Amino acid sequence: MPKRARFALRVNDLASSLTFYVDRLGFQLVESQLDADRAVVLDPYGDPILLAGPAVEDVYSHLDEPRIVYKPGQTLDFVQENLDARLAALTKRGLTDIQQEQTDEGDRKLTIKDPSNSTIIFVQQRSPEKTLALYTRGAARYPHG
State whether the Cα torsion 131-105-111-38 is positive or negative. positive
What string of H, E and C letters represents the secondary structure of 12-76? CCHHHHHHHHHHHCCCEEEEEEHHHCEEEEECCCCCEEEEECCCCCCHHHHCCCCCEEECCCCEE
| CA–CA distance, 41 with 28 (Å, rounded to integer) | 5
pTM of the model: 0.83
| CA–CA distance, 99 with 113 (Å, rounded to integer) | 9
| CA–CA distance, 21 with 49 (Å, rounded to integer) | 10
DSSP run (H or E) holding 102: strand 99-102
Each residue's pLDDT, cut to its tens digit, for the chain (145 residues) gives 467 899 999 999 999 999 999 999 999 999 999 999 999 999 998 999 999 999 999 999 999 999 999 999 999 999 988 999 999 999 999 999 999 998 777 789 999 999 999 999 999 876 656 656 655 666 556 666 5
pLDDT of residue 74: 96
